[in-house]
Structure 1
């Protein structure tokens, strides 16, 4: 009998404890399942380390990308598979793994043993699984996270709007926010020098929010990641770049859209600045040493063997 621990983030926008527990129990009734609902980061870390020490077979994350980011700090390099059940708003990693269907379908990954290894990105010792960066974009993530904490009703808004809430905040930031730029040094084998830019994006997968294809050739299992530097000197040029991305046009001919694939890079700033990753704001620093941890995380993925899955029975279809 396999041992499974399910971590539920009850603060995530689309996460209801009873809803998820009922459906997970229905799919995993033959397994030994523990349900974890930690009330603090320290409690989560204690429980997760206990699970690792007890050699659990699988960790299930029910929440958003922030929940995943917390879990991978301990799971990186471990021989424990992570199943990501989309329970947040953006659900970037869940979407990348093909987890867009019913809860029952996603949980079936465990029974079918559909696992693969993906890369993680190490930023000054903290891991990231999806996308992140510095400057524009990070400001959007920061504002949304602050509203989640300070305004309880905002969670209901996010539940109603879903991923489109990010489009609204991006548009607002582009049109009315400060057009801040940053001077910094880049040191990598593929690209080096001094730059002035409104943002640096670090991408472990092609899409953000399963909508915006900002790095279409990027994969999360090849030992490299994508770095984009936005050097647009005016707000108008930056808006034009974003409009292309929104229309599904990769701005490859934009001279201010610098994009490279690399496995290691160092970014140096004059003053400490925030880095955001997996929808979370990391600690401020004036230097970020970024590298790929190849095959650093074992995950379940519906993209593996989808054609061989047997059809779901009508009663197994989730009511989400």
Structure 2
């Protein structure tokens, strides 16, 4: 009997691209003698549940076909099980796939499963949830929540435009307090990103020295609390100059606490999906996820 590989995919990711890619990956694996088990998700949380069930019942590898949200759900579902994960990028930003230098062709993804090396990466933990790229609190998290409240079908970069414009009109930048490894940062901030990678989303670069296997979280805080400064920060992120701005500070740590300074309800996003509201405590789990790389 060949090795068993689960292919978990989000059928609406990439406007149906993930469904097509999943079939091609399955056929390529079967040609190599693997048993490929296709498992489409239907709603948020399915990838996590499926990964957990595969881990309990025995599986040799998992292929995540989708975006960073699908990958983080699968990593969460495997929950430390020593089962390697290959990524077939089919989402909006595909940050972790870019970070790891992964191919996108189905045949190459099948080669990762059959011949790839294992690279153990760190995982961020927020309660029972996990992230592989980043979690944040502030205006971008507000955009994510707003988008998912009205989501219909696949998400593209263009999908975010209307929600960003709405945030520009309505978001009020409530103040937050941040503590890193037990040390309060003092004055309140308007925006916080806790990253596991140096890429963030699309063209944005937040943590200039961030590495997904260094055992540390990279924390970027911005004290500005206005639309003008938010636009300034965004432009600087695209230009990879955000940490050089006044009012922006970067830190590393293993334990981060974020809470509202007042009674505001401040949204959180986790790998591009809604992650509830503050307060949150974020920790790093070093080397928790075995990923297949070339």
Q: TM-score under structure 2 normalisation?
A: 0.87
Q: 1:262 and 1:75, CA in 2 relative to 1: closer, same or farther beyond 3 A?
A: same
Partners of 1:40 and 1:186 lie apart in 2 by 33
Report the secondary structure of 1:77's partner residue. coil
Partners of 1:266 and 1:72 lie apart in 2 by 22
Question: CA offset at residue 122 of structure 1?
Answer: 0.8
* Structure 1 residues not aligned, in runs of 5+: 303-320
Question: Is 1:36 the equivalent of 2:39?
Answer: yes
Q: 1:41 and 1:25, CA in 2 relative to 1: closer, same or farther beyond 3 A?
A: same
Q: Deviations over 1:5-40 (max 9, x none)?
A: 111211223434662243113320110111112434
* Structure 2 residues not aligned, in runs of 5+: none
Question: Is 1:279 the equivalent of 2:272?
Answer: yes
Q: 1:15 and 1:83, CA in 2 relative to 1: closer, same or farther beyond 3 A?
A: farther
**Contact 1:185–1:267 (CA<8 Å) still a contact in 2?**
yes
Q: 1:171 and 1:36, CA in 2 relative to 1: closer, same or farther beyond 3 A?
A: closer
Question: CA offset at residue 111 of structure 1?
Answer: 1.6
**For 1:294, which of 283, 286, 293 is the aligned residue?**
286
Question: CA offset at residue 45 of structure 1?
Answer: 5.0
Q: Deviations over 1:236-268 (max 9, x none)?
A: 23322322222x241333221111111112122
**Contact 1:183–1:195 (CA<8 Å) still a contact in 2?**
no
Alignment correspondent of 1:318: none
Question: Is 1:55 the equivalent of 2:46?
Answer: no
Q: Deviations over 1:134-169 (max 9, x none)?
A: 0111122223323423xx4xx3xx5xxx44555x45
Alignment correspondent of 1:257: 248
Alignment correspondent of 2:7: 6
Q: Deviations over 1:148-201 (max 9, x none)?
A: 23xx4xx3xx5xxx44555x4586367x33352223332224852343332111
Q: 1:45 and 1:241, CA in 2 relative to 1: closer, same or farther beyond 3 A?
A: closer
Report the secondary structure of 2:235's partner residue. helix
Question: CA offset at residue 210 of structure 1?
Answer: 4.7
Question: Which portions of structure 1, spanning 4 or more consecutive aligned residues, are displaced by more than 4 angstroms?
Answer: 40-46
Q: Which has the larger radius of gyration?
A: 1
When structure 1 is superposed on structure 2, of 219-228 and 60-69 the one drifting more is 60-69
Q: 1:20 and 1:195, CA in 2 relative to 1: closer, same or farther beyond 3 A?
A: same
**For 2:117, which of 100, 114, 118 is the aligned residue?**
114
**Contact 2:14–2:92 (CA<8 Å) still a contact in 1?**
yes
Q: Deviations over 1:262-311 (max 9, x none)?
A: 111212224443210111111234x2111100001111123xxxxxxxxx
Alignment correspondent of 2:140: 137
The number of residue pairs the alignment matches comes to: 289
**For 1:128, which of 128, 131, 135 is the aligned residue?**
131
Q: TM-score under structure 1 normalisation?
A: 0.81
When structure 1 is superposed on structure 2, of 236-245 and 55-64 the one drifting more is 236-245
When structure 1 is superposed on structure 2, of 116-125 and 100-109 the one drifting more is 100-109
